[in-house]
Amino acid sequence: AAAQSRPSALQSGESLATLKNESDSLKKKLEEERAKLHDVELNQVAEKVELVSALSIRTRRVLKGHGNKVLCMDWCKDKRRLVSSSQDGKVIVWDGYTLNKEHAVTMPCTWVMACAYAPSGCAVACGGLDNKCSVYPLSLDKNENLAAKKKSVAMHTNYLSGCSFTNSDMQLLTSSGDGTCALWDVESGQLLQSFHGHTADVLSLNLAPSETGNTFVSGGCDKKANVWDMLPCASVSCRLYDLRADREVAVYQKDSIIFGASSVDFSLSGRLLFAGYNDYTINVWDVLKGNRISVLFGHENRVSCVKVSPDGTSFASASWDTSLRIWA
């Protein structure tokens, strides 16, 4: 009866010391289990696969208009529109085919570090130094002031580093310099779930592609990538982690690469990995064989964000040189 009325009381035999011992032995067991599975490297399995033949990827479009570093971009599901956000405080929606700027929003803060296109194509979300993530419905009326219909959805206690709609326009997932990720209801602005586990700023998040969409991964300044049910810290290497083997299976790096990679994305089949670097280049890696296939030049400053289009026919890059490029 005494134990039930005081929920923080010790269970029998439990103490900080015994719990610490248990956690240490569990950590050791986990390391051993993972090591047992490391029977081969990915590139060894891929030895007999033919090398990727020469790629003919070049810049096909340059999107100019931002006045300062472009920090983030996202594709619309229609595979032609993009949204981008910049240190200049602006968020621009572009038609990637014609280069037309369809919408522009001026945010109340500079350093808009995150932006995302809603699955319906009817709204965009963005935020940064304002510690919030706001949703702007996109109006067909060119004269309408988008800022008037703005809806503040997410509130963090530090900068917003990433945002993504889940499977619908109704829920928004955010990551923040406050060390947390959070899931929000767009309509009411209510916090649905918050994710604590990082011990430093969370810089990036990405949802697993699936109809039910209930897993996402986040990366942070604590050098951890966490996989969850429901500002770029740059690493010189890119690593492939297989969830089923529960370990790293490949590392993509070269001694000649001394600048960090800020952003990565896979081509449609998963064979190519596009990585944007702080030395202004984009490296294309063979995911299976581990070698670098080519280096793409064009940007005149750090590459902050890389994303392959929804049908894989092109990829876009955003840069501190104030432009975006579409490559195909």
Please report, as ranges, the residues that interact with other proteins according to CB under 8 A. 8, 10, 16, 19-20, 22-23, 26-27, 29-30, 33-34, 37-42, 45-46, 49, 52, 55-57, 60-61, 80, 96-97, 242, 244-247, 249, 267-272, 287-288, 308, 311-315, 326-328
Select 10 or 147, whichever has its Cβ closest to other proteins: 10
Select 20 or 254, whichever has its Cβ closest to other proteins: 20
Q: Which DSSP string corresponds to 110-147?
A: S---EEEE-TTSSEEEEESTTSEEEEEEPPS-TTS-GG
| H helix or E strand, kind and range, residue 164 | strand 160-165
Rounded to 10 degrees, the C-alpha dihedral 282/286/289/292 comes to -30
Rg (CA), the chain: 22
Select 129 or 326, whichever has its Cβ closest to other proteins: 326
- Nearest CA to 229 out of 197, 191, 270, 190 is that of 197
Q: Report in angstroms how near the CB of residue 312 gets to other proteins at its nearest.
A: 6
Select 126 or 293, whichever has its Cβ closest to other proteins: 293
Q: Report in angstroms how near the CB of residue 263 gets to other proteins at its nearest.
A: 16
Cβ-contact 319, 304 below 8 angstroms? yes
Select 61 or 302, whichever has its Cβ closest to other proteins: 61
Q: Report in angstroms how near the CB of residue 251 gets to other proteins at its nearest.
A: 13
Select 231 or 306, whichever has its Cβ closest to other proteins: 306
CB neighbour class for 20 (10 Å; exposed up to 12, middle 13-18, buried from 19): exposed
Q: Report in angstroms how near the CB of residue 268 gets to other proteins at its nearest.
A: 4
Select 247 or 254, whichever has its Cβ closest to other proteins: 247
Rounded to 10 degrees, the C-alpha dihedral 179/278/96/110 comes to 50
Q: Report in angstroms how near the CB of residue 112 gets to other proteins at its nearest.
A: 26
- Nearest CA to 135 out of 120, 146, 124, 144 is that of 124
Q: Report in angstroms how near the CB of residue 149 gets to other proteins at its nearest.
A: 31
Read off the tokens for 64.
């100019």
DSSP label at residue 322: S
Q: Report in angstroms how near the CB of residue 45 gets to other proteins at its nearest.
A: 4
Give the whole-angstrom CA distance, residue 11 versus residue 49: 56
Residue whose entry in the numeric block shows the structure tokens 């296109």: 117
